[in-house]
Amino acid sequence: MKRIYLNLKRFDIPREMGGINDTGMREQYARKIVSDIEKLSQDFMFTVFFQEAYVLPATDVAKRTHIGCQGVYEKDVEKGGNFGGMTTFRTAKSMKALGVDSVIIGHCEERAYLNGILSAGGGQGDVNEILNREIRCAVNAGMNVLYCIGEKSEEQQYRFDVLTHQLETGLKDVDLTNVAIAYEPVWAIGVGKIPPDRQYIEEIVEHVKSVYNLPVVYGGGLKEQNAEMLAGIEKLDGGLIALTRFGSDFGFYIEDFNKIVETYQGGLK
């Protein structure tokens, strides 16, 4: 079964405040997104990573759609231990208690933030070790994990070494039963950037699966323009969708999401 992930970024912020939300009430829109997705083909496993405010209305109507959050803290409550003194942090068990069963960890935006923190402290430490603690907390709480990996432009020449380190360090001592990998070519993300071609992606997928035989999806942006090509990569297990328009009407639109899924489905062999 192919996997389609939807990462809604910060679409909870209205356009007048600088965001991309022009849909009104969060409860109504969250329910509509899930309801519309559940009308699509049952040949796909759908997961939507919502912001916190959208989680409860989404879980209210979800039947076969997995509801996810956008990251968890590297520590959590434990019986006989910390009862929850983690002010400002979103723990995996707090999300699980709200009905969330999935989480995205290691997205390039999270990696950039953590690298900034480490740099401010003198550059000591490995981001992947922090992500490993987050993943272990998520798995311990019973959540599905989408772990993002990828190389920067200056790392392309030794990309396989970079990806191997991210995989082996990030997934050390992790029960991999409910873990999937999203490949993000960080060097190709952004307006005007040239995305990797089919051969490049195929080589990455082959390498990742040689390290850990896990589901691998394309995390650099599944779009209508590349959906058919990505669907033709047999060993690729799906894709990650975020924004669906990049012009003056920049944002996420459910009708575009439907078209992307339909195009991807049409390209499957």
pTM, to two decimals: 0.96
Cα–Cα distance list, 200 to 123, 206, 236 (Å): 31, 10, 12
Cα–Cα distance list, 41 to 36, 142, 165, 196 (Å): 11, 26, 36, 28
- Report whether pLDDT(23) > 70: no
Strand runs (DSSP E) across the chain, as ranges?
A: 2-7, 44-50, 66-69, 102-105, 144-149, 179-183, 216-218, 238-241
- Report whether pLDDT(24) > 90: no
107 is annotated as an active-site residue? yes
User: How confident is the model over 206-230, as a mean pLDDT?
Assistant: 96
Domain count, the chain: 1
Provide the pLDDT for residue 152: 96
Give the model's confidence band at 22: pLDDT under 50 very low, under 70 low, under 90 confident, else very high: low
Residue 235 is part of a domain; what is its CATH number? Answer: 3.20.20.70
> What is the share, in percent, of the chain residues with pLDDT greater than 70?
99
Comparison of pLDDT for 248 and 103, the residue scoring more = 103
pLDDT in tens, 59-69: 999 999 999 99
- Report whether pLDDT(269) > 90: no
- Report whether pLDDT(27) > 90: no
Exactly one of 16, 110, 184, 207 is catalytic; which is it? 184
Tokens encoding 77: 């409550």
Provide the pLDDT for residue 229: 97
Which domain, by its residues, includes 197?
A: 2-267
Exactly one of 66, 107, 134, 151 is catalytic; which is it? 107
Helix (H, G, I), strand (E, B) or coil at 254: helix
Angle at Cα 184 formed by Cα 145 and Cα 194, nearest 5°? 160
User: How confident is the model over 127-149, as a mean pLDDT?
Assistant: 98
Provide the pLDDT for residue 184: 97
- Report whether pLDDT(32) > 80: yes
pLDDT in tens, 164-211: 999 999 999 999 999 999 999 999 987 778 899 999 999 999 999 999
15-19, 33-37, 201-205: least confidently modelled range: 15-19
Provide the pLDDT for residue 86: 86
DSSP for 158-198 reads GHHHHHHHHHHHHTTT--GGGEEEEE--GGG-STTPPPP-H
Provide the pLDDT for residue 212: 98
